[in-house]
Amino acid sequence: MVKKPKILIVGSGIVGASIALACQNLGADVVVVEQGKLGGLASSNSFGWINASFAPSQEYFELRDAAVDTFRQFSAQLDLNKSVRWQGTLWWEDHGPALKDHFSNLKARGYQAKWLKKNEIKVIEPNLKNAPEEAILTPLEGAGQADKVALAILAELTASGGRVLSGCKVTALDFSRGHVSQAQTSVGDIKCDLVVMATGAAAQHGLVGIDWVLPMQNKTGLILQTSSIPHLINHILMTDDVHFRQNVDGSLTAGEIFSGDLDPNSVPLDLASDVMARLKTKLHGLPKINLTDVKIGTRPVPLDGFPVVGNVPGHGGLFVAVMHSGVTLAPLIGQLLASEMLQMSESSLLVPFRPNRF
């Protein structure tokens, strides 16, 4: 009988969970360890937009575009309809020439996008106050409550024999003849053949036994969650001063600046009140709505802004998977990295995003 490879996944967010399930589907014996909250910190504090609208390079666009398609298939396979909606995005964060330039860029890349005028916007979002003169509709995009998605993936993993250890901190990795052999953890040593570090923003701290550290420029973001209200909006709305969407359960998720960084001098509760005030000016018929959660999260952003996926240089059997837009990318990264680790099949999509560039 062929011995199953033992794979340790460090991090239980949507990226780590996706890699774990993909490895198990290829026949590996998988253990996921998480020192904090199951479902991951970044996933718990994510806006959850699934898109390929923004990509500074063509290679990154191609990765994200493939990832959106993969996520749609993945969502259907795991029946994630309680935590993922494919409602499309209505975007007018910019206006004038900047909005037109963005639309032209999307069309040049072959991305599905439609230019809408004010009267068309009113038809598809009848409860929107002061509809913009123009906006871009990207109909194939979606959004997910990333921590719930991660937990659903972990449930699928454990139902098929995988193991998940919460409250377990990896403190060091041991290597034998240049290849990882075990992890030292707060609950004892764990023997393993392969290790994936999917630790998000914490990746910048490194580990004992590894002489490689990932340079990061992590960003802080504010995400708000509200109580459930009757169905009011049909799309993810990316306006010029607030981003928000309605979840499957009727609650709203809102954020201030999707790709920006919080002012370190800002007071979170004051900013939350300001964001909610902006949101309330956007909609007709908005009932009384309660703010149920104010989340200040750290977005894991490698130094050059691009994903870092693959084998850590000089460390056999050790892999890393850290990225912003982890929600969009997670199911695809899981499948590609699992194939690379277990089938020696390297995807051209990942070539520009290897750890050896640092």
pLDDT of residue 221: 87
Do 134 and 115 meet the contact criterion of CB atoms below 8 Å apart? yes
- Report the number of distinct structural domains present in the chain: 2
Enclosing domain of residue 316: 6-46+147-216+303-357
Kindly state whether residue 53 falls inside one of the protein's structural domains. no
Which of these three, 299, 319, 334, is where a domain ends?
Answer: 299
Let me know how many helices (H) and strands (E) the chain has, helices first.
8, 20
Which of these three, 299, 318, 339, is where a domain ends?
Answer: 299
Same domain? For 210 and 223 the reply is: no
Kindly state whether residue 79 falls inside one of the protein's structural domains. no
Kindly state whether residue 334 falls inside one of the protein's structural domains. yes
Q: Which residues of the chain have pLDDT under 50?
A: none
Kindly state whether residue 84 falls inside one of the protein's structural domains. no
337: tokens are 């990295």
Q: Each residue of 245-271: pLDDT tens digit?
A: 999 999 999 997 655 667 777 788 888
Same domain? For 157 and 279 the reply is: no
Kindly report the CATH number assigned to the domain that includes residue 331. Answer: 3.50.50.60
92 Cβ contact partners less than 8 Å away, ≥ 6 residues apart: 99, 132, 134, 135, 136, 238, 239, 240
Closest CA to 115 of 141, 93, 142, 133: 133
Same domain? For 134 and 225 the reply is: yes
Kindly report the CATH number assigned to the domain that includes residue 244. Answer: 3.30.9.10
pLDDT of residue 13: 95
Name the pairing type of β-strands 318-322 and 194-197: parallel
pLDDT of residue 1: 59
340: tokens are 């690379």
107 Cβ contact partners less than 8 Å away, ≥ 6 residues apart: 113
Do 315 and 208 meet the contact criterion of CB atoms below 8 Å apart? no
88: tokens are 């499309």
Same domain? For 198 and 129 the reply is: no
